[in-house]
Chains A and B, each alone.
Chain A
């Protein structure tokens, strides 16, 4: 099975940097996704990691360490619109498109 943990809530200031951690304990691994979800809206894809290391996409970066079962999403130059829920999801092996989601981290960006 899959056990995916994220902090429930985080607060950060506009313009700052915030790191959202995700740890997972799985019986197999075939990639890790981060999604952003604003309240009442669909989750949108942010990043994908399958190999160890850092993937950078503009203000957002995602890191993976498979040996530690650990990932983080780094958000730089925070903007008010970044207030949202951030979902960590792990793809099991041989699962097609299926994903196992963590409970999500609700990020509040304050002025």
Chain B
């Protein structure tokens, strides 16, 4: 099946700093990638849809200037959490859509962000 990787898997940063998370499709090209946030024991909350070569589409309530998304190539999307605060601590998961039997999303392993 299609493989999606994320880097880093864990990151701890100080309040006020910025953190970049990378999402890569390893064996397929993804014109569309998705960024989710997940709180403990909660479901996935879609933050934004990342389209290669164009601006990301953000969900209501998600600050686009705080969560910068860049999808510069067909295999890489990045999420930058700018001026991070402790309330930004969460599990961030990306996924990529690929044409296939079900056109399902394949998920990356997630990034655990802790802001001190």
- Give the B-binding residues of A (Cβ under 8 A): 31, 33, 35, 40-45, 48, 85, 87, 96-104, 106
Instruction: Enumerate the 8 nearest inter-chain pairs by beta-carbon distance, A residue then B residue, closest first.
Output: A97-B97, A42-B107, A48-B102, A103-B43, A104-B43, A101-B44, A42-B109, A43-B107
Could you say which residues of chain B place their CB within 8 Å of the CB of A103? 42-43
Residue of A at shortest CB range from B99? A97
Tell me whether B77 is interfacial, beta carbon within 8 Å: no
Give the size range of B's interface with the partner. Answer: 20 to 34
- Give the A-binding residues of B (Cβ under 8 A): 1, 4, 32, 34, 41-44, 46, 49, 91, 93, 97-98, 101-110, 112
- Cα A42 to Cα B21 in complex, Å, equals 15
Report whether B105 and A97 are in contact in the complex, using a CB–CB cutoff of 8 Å.
yes
Other-chain contact of B97, A43, A96, A104 (Cβ < 8 Å): A96
Report whether A101 and B105 are in contact in the complex, using a CB–CB cutoff of 8 Å.
no
Beyond the given A42-B109, A43-B107, A85-B41, please list 20 additional residue pairs across the A-B interface where CB-CB is below 8 A.
A31-B102, A40-B112, A41-B110, A42-B4, A42-B110, A43-B44, A44-B107, A45-B102, A45-B104, A45-B105, A45-B106, A48-B101, A87-B43, A97-B104, A100-B46, A101-B43, A103-B42, A103-B43, A104-B43, A106-B41
Residue of A at shortest CB range from B2? A45
Could you say which residues of chain B place their CB within 8 Å of the CB of A106? 41
Report whether A33 and B44 are in contact in the complex, using a CB–CB cutoff of 8 Å.
no
Report whether B102 and A97 are in contact in the complex, using a CB–CB cutoff of 8 Å.
no
Residue of A at shortest CB range from B33? A97
A90 to B: closest C-beta gap in Å: 13
Could you say which residues of chain B place their CB within 8 Å of the CB of A104? 42-43
Report whether A87 and B91 are in contact in the complex, using a CB–CB cutoff of 8 Å.
no
Could you say which residues of chain A place their CB within 8 Å of the CB of B97? 96-97
Report whether A97 and B32 are in contact in the complex, using a CB–CB cutoff of 8 Å.
yes
- Cα A64 to Cα B110 in complex, Å, equals 30
- Cα A31 to Cα B104 in complex, Å, equals 10
Give 27 CB contacts A-B under 8 Å.
Answer: A31-B102, A33-B102, A40-B110, A40-B112, A41-B109, A42-B4, A42-B93, A42-B108, A42-B109, A42-B110, A43-B44, A43-B93, A45-B104, A45-B105, A45-B106, A48-B104, A85-B41, A96-B32, A97-B97, A97-B105, A98-B46, A99-B105, A100-B46, A101-B43, A101-B46, A102-B43, A104-B42
